Structure 1
Amino acid sequence: MFDLDVRWRLHPQVAVRPEPFGALLYHFGTRKLSFLKNAGVVEVVTLLGQHSTARDALRAAGVEGEPAYRKALATLVESRMLVRVP
C-alpha cells in the first residue's frame, strides 16, 4: 500500500529510459514495461531517492497538492516499479 509519509525508491531491477514523451520504466524481474507520459511524474520518480518521504519529493517537484501525482506513484507501487525503503 502506498503511503506518502515513507521513503520510496525505484526497484533495484527497474531501468529508466528517458524519452521525448517522458520515460519508459522496465522491470527486469517481472518484465513489465511502464510508460511515464508526464515529465512531472518522471521528475518526482527521480527525486524519490533524494528525499526522506514521497511527500517531500512531491513538494520538491512543486506538485504536492496534485492528486494525479499521488495516484501515479501509487500505481507504480502496485506494479512493483517502486519499493519502500526500510
Structure 2
Amino acid sequence: MSTPTSAPVSGGRLDASAGTGPAPQFDSGGAWTLNPKVALRPEPFGALLYHFGTRKLSFLKNLTVVDIVSSLGDHATASDALAAAGIGEADRALYVQALGALADSGMIVPRAA
C-alpha cells in the first residue's frame, strides 16, 4: 500500500465553502463530504480535485484516499469511512493527515446535519 498523499497546487487556510475565514479543523469523528464546489476526476494515478470557487487543483495519488473521499457522504463520520475502507490503526494517522490536508484546502467540508 502506498502512502496517502494529496498535493494542493495552491495553499492557504481559507474556508473555500464561504470564501473567507479559517478552514474548519478536521475531526475524524465528524461528518464530512466532498465540497459541492469541488469536482473529483478519477485518473490512473488516483484523482484530480478541482475547486471551482478557489480554482485550486489537488492531486490524490492514492486510490484508497480517492475511495475514502468519494465515500465520505455515505458514512456517519470520517472514522466510519476509514473503517469501511479497511484502514487499520497502524495506518490511520496517515489517512487522517491526508483528510486533514483536504479539509484545510476546502476540498472536503463538514456535512450539514
TM-score with structure 2 setting the length? 0.74
For residues 12 and 52 of structure 1, the distance between their equivalents in structure 2, rounded to whole angstroms, comes to 18
Which ranges of structure 2 fall in alignment gaps of 5 or more residues? 1-24
Matching residue's letter, 2:51: H
In percent, how many aligned pairs have the same letter?
58
Query: Match of 2:50?
Result: 26
**Higher helix residue share:** 1
Which ranges of structure 1 fall in alignment gaps of 5 or more residues? none
Larger radius of gyration: 2
For residues 59 and 77 of structure 1, the distance between their equivalents in structure 2, rounded to whole angstroms, comes to 19
Number of equivalenced pairs: 86
Task: For residues 36-71 of structure 1, give each alpha carbon's deviation from its aligned partner in whole angstroms, at most 9, with x where no partner exists.
Answer: 000010011011010000000000000142211110
**Higher strand residue share:** 1
Alpha-carbon shift at residue 35 of structure 1 (Å): 0.1
Find runs of 4+ consecutive structure 1 residues off by over 3 angstroms: none
Alpha-carbon shift at residue 25 of structure 1 (Å): 0.2
Q: CA RMSD in A?
A: 0.7
SS at 2:66's partner residue? Answer: helix
Verify the 8 A CA contact 1:48 1:54 in the aligned structure 2.
Answer: yes
For residues 63 and 7 of structure 1, the distance between their equivalents in structure 2, rounded to whole angstroms, comes to 17
